[in-house]
Amino acid sequence: MLLPLPYYIESPGTAESVGDHLVVNHKKDNKNGDFLLTTVYVQKASPLTLLYSKLFGKYDEILNENEVTGGSSNQEYDVLQRYYMTDSINQAKFVAFKAAHKKVSLEFQGVYVMSVLEKSKFYHVLKPGDVITSIDNKKFASEKGFISYVSSQKNGQKVRVKVKRKGVSKIVVGKLMPLDKTKKSGLGITLINKTNVETEIPVKANVASLGGPSGGLMFTLQIYTQLMDVDIRHGQKIAGTGTMSSNGEVGDIGGIDKKIVAADKENVSIFFAPNNELSSAELKSDPNALNNYQLAKKTAKQIGSNMKVIPVKKFSDALNYLENIKNSSH
């Protein structure tokens, strides 16, 4: 009855203090209120948990193994989630330090290969954990530059890829393939920036228990608050979600309905949600699709929450909102 099935169950997780995970300039955050990081609980399904989820898990989602892990082994998946978190902290540091006008530098070290599609011509050539440092002898300043170059090439074109594997550089060669969603050329990999951030003021993050990129926005708010030594929470519990790019843009995440439920259980006052437009491809496949903010707002209403759901596209949107809250209103 307890045998694992090839499915995973995603359900509302926790909302925990971001300040508990960060030390900035050798100090913990001692201001009133809290910035909270919301999580989604993921478990491998058994017949018993699957039945319970279908009967009682209103906001549970049942996914097949590939949808969750992308074909990676459990070990690879855990490594990727930790890598996502490391990059999330790096982006948060960079954006927070820039906003606070503190000295910071970000070095793009290449593109980290997270997984390789089975139908990719690079399937047996590239490996998860490889860092691509150049293509056709061209180096890039970000993953966007990398993607832009590759997608501008012809499908089937042969490219020379320089990778660093376990500290050793090597050249691999393969043909580009049309990607499913866009039909543009690609290597057939999932990827993430590999970056290094240097700061004069030390920031220590203890995130061993966390994974994924979705805490970017909340980490940025927490680091900024501690750098500036300001009180922008006014004693409130403030949650949110969204990835963070080095230019301050807040990216979309999965499971925002579950994160709203988790935040509401902690009596959160404000929840920041990414508000990016859906692509034409997304709307074509589902004309009724909702973006992160729309789904968050809908879920908050469904559960009767008093929490204010605030749409954000950039870090500055969240910061401006908090700075404009009048103390007298609380």
- Residues annotated as catalytic (active site), given as ranges: 214, 259
From residue 110, alpha-carbon distances to 185, 243, 329 in Å are: 19, 19, 47
Only one residue has tokens 């990835």, namely: 243
Provide the phi-psi class of 74: left if phi over 0, else alpha when psi is between -120 and 50, else beta.
alpha
Q: Are 15 and 33 in contact (CB under 8 A)?
A: no
Q: Which residues have a Cβ under 8 Å from the Cβ of 147 and sit 6 or more positions away?
A: 186
Asked whether the beta carbons of 285 and 321 are under 8 A apart, the reply is: no
- In the chain, DSSP finds a helix count (H) and a strand count (E) of 9, 17
Picking from 7, 37, 55, the residue whose alpha carbon sits closest to that of residue 210 is: 37
Cα angle 45, 48, 52 (rounded to 5 degrees) comes to: 90
Close Cβ partners of 137 (under 8 Å, ≥ 6 residues apart): 160, 162
